[in-house]
């Protein structure tokens, strides 16, 4: 296993925090109705987990240099994340249209539904972005 | 896969320079130097010139372009 750069360690930390929050969130959200406090709590835990993990990685790494290859890989990751957001948004809009055609939408839960869907889309895009970057570090550019 | 080959490993060996020392002189990470040496990353033109400058040789002595169909 080759030594990891600061950027790679940081990405693994990011992925760990994302999965640690998103997997329980995804399981719990499917076992009941989402609430604003649950989604807000998940976002807060995610931010705190990221801060703690990134701080530990930064303290444990002496050389925190970011070079041209790191920047190129970051761009590739953001491109993958962007395509994920766009694709999932299109799927979401199509589903919304299908539900509206069958009068299945409850106006009272609409806001909450959108909030949980947006959070899920952002989390999935974040995971895809991070995984794409980690793969790029191991493949020829 | 980049078609640009390089002789960085050989040039380093002659000068008894480590990957970290080269990385420090051109503001790259050691992982990027490893990727360049292994032909897994083609550096920017500016970085290529800086590498040649560190070794004190012309650019074409460090990097060689291999056209399509030669690999």
Where are the domains positioned within chain A? 6-138
pLDDT of residue A33: 61
CA distance A3 to A12: 13
Confidence of residue B20 (pLDDT cuts 50, 70, 90): very high
Other Cβ atoms less than 10 A from the Cβ of B32: the count is 24
ipTM tops the 0.95 cut: no
pLDDT of residue A102: 77
pLDDT of residue B68: 67
Contacts of A39 (CB under 8 A, 6+ apart): A112, A115, A116, A119
CA distance B58 to B41: 20
Residue A77: alpha-carbon gap to chain centroid: 12
Confidence of residue B42 (pLDDT cuts 50, 70, 90): very high
Q: Which CATH superfamily is domain B4-56 in?
A: lambda repressor-like DNA-binding domains (1.10.260.40)
Helix/strand/coil for B70: coil
Question: CB distance B41–A67 less than 8 Å?
Answer: no
* pLDDT score of B4 more than 90: no
Residue A117: alpha-carbon gap to chain centroid: 12
Query: What's the token pair of residue A27?
Result: 């399981």
Decide: A130 and A13 in contact? Cβ < 8 Å: no
- Among residues A45, A60, A63, A67, which one has the least CA distance to residue A119? A45
Enumerate the residues of chain A whose CB falls inside 8 A of the CB of residue B40: 139-141
CA distance A69 to A122: 25
- CA-based nearest residue in chain A for residue B46: A68
Enumerate the residues of chain B whose CB falls inside 8 A of the CB of residue A137: 31
Domain ranges of chain B: 4-56
pLDDT of residue B10: 95
B68 backbone dihedrals φ, ψ, rounded to 5°: -60, 135
A70 has a chain B CB within 8 A of its CB: yes
Question: CB distance A69–B1 less than 8 Å?
Answer: no
Question: CB distance B34–A2 less than 8 Å?
Answer: yes
**Residue showing tokens 């690999």:** B71
How many inter-chain contacts (A to B, CB under 8 Å) are there?
48
CA distance B15 to A45: 51
- Among B18, B29, B48, most A C-beta atoms within 10 A, so best to mutate, is B29
Decide: B43 and B51 in contact? Cβ < 8 Å: yes
A74 has a chain B CB within 8 A of its CB: no
Q: What does DSSP assign to residue A66? A: -
pLDDT of residue B22: 96
pLDDT by position in tens, chain A (length 141): 467 888 899 999 999 999 988 888 888 877 776 677 877 888 888 889 889 988 888 888 777 788 999 999 999 999 999 999 999 999 988 888 887 787 766 766 777 777 788 888 999 999 999 999 999 998 888
Average pLDDT, chain B: 90
* pLDDT score of B71 more than 60: no
Enumerate the residues of chain A whose CB falls inside 8 A of the CB of residue B42: 141
When CB atoms are compared, the residue of A67, A139, A140 closest to B29 is A67
* pLDDT score of B1 more than 70: no
């Amino acid at each position: 296993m080759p030594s990891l750069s600061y950027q790679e360690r940081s990405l693994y930390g990011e992925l760990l925090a994302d999965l640690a929050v998103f997997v329980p969130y995804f399981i719990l959200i499917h076992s009941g109705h989402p609430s604003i406090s649950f989604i807000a709590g998940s976002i807060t835990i995610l931010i705190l987990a990221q801060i703690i993990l990134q701080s530990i990685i930064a303290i444990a790494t002496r050389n925190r240099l970011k070079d041209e290859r790191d920047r190129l890989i970051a761009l590739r990751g953001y491109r993958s994340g962007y395509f994920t957001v766009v694709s999932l948004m299109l799927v979401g809009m199509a589903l919304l249209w299908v539900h509206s055609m069958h009068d299945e939408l409850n106006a009272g839960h609409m806001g909450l539904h959108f909030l949980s869907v947006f959070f899920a889309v952002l989390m999935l895009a974040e995971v895809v972005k991070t995984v794409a970057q980690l793969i790029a570090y191991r493949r020829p550019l | 896969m980049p078609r640009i080959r390089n002789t960085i490993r050989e040039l380093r060996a002659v000068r008894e320079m480590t990957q970290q020392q080269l990385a420090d002189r051109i503001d790259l990470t050691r992982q990027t130097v490893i990727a360049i040496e292994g032909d897994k990353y083609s550096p920017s033109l500016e970085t290529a010139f800086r590498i040649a400058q560190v070794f004190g040789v012309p650019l074409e002595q460090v990097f060689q372009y291999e056209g399509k169909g030669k690999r």
